[in-house]
Amino acid sequence: MSLKSVKREPNALQRWARETVTELRRVSWPTREQAVHLTIVVLIVMLVAGAILGSLDFLFERLFVVLLGR
């Protein structure tokens, strides 16, 4: 039996890389328009959530100042 006739299994890293590339080819990527729209939605939600959390933080801070008299 020669060395060329022995079929070698690819190591885990090679197999992972090959499978990852295969899966990325199967992905249904969004169009540019969809990506821009979803990015805008995410930014708006982040701003609203930040404003709400910031307001709550400010109100609770003021409440503690009043309650603790500092």
Tell me: the pLDDT tens digits for 25-70?
Answer: 999 999 999 999 999 999 999 999 999 999 999 999 999 999 998 6
Domains: count for the chain: 1
pTM above 0.85, yes or no: no
pLDDT band at 4, cuts 50/70/90?
Answer: low
Please give the pLDDT value at position 1.
55
Residue 43: inside a domain:
yes
Residue 5: inside a domain:
no
Residue 50: inside a domain:
yes
Residue 70: inside a domain:
yes
Residue 15: inside a domain:
no
For 56, the domain range is 30-70
Cα–Cα distance list, 58 to 38, 53, 64, 70 (Å): 30, 9, 10, 15
Residue 12: inside a domain:
no
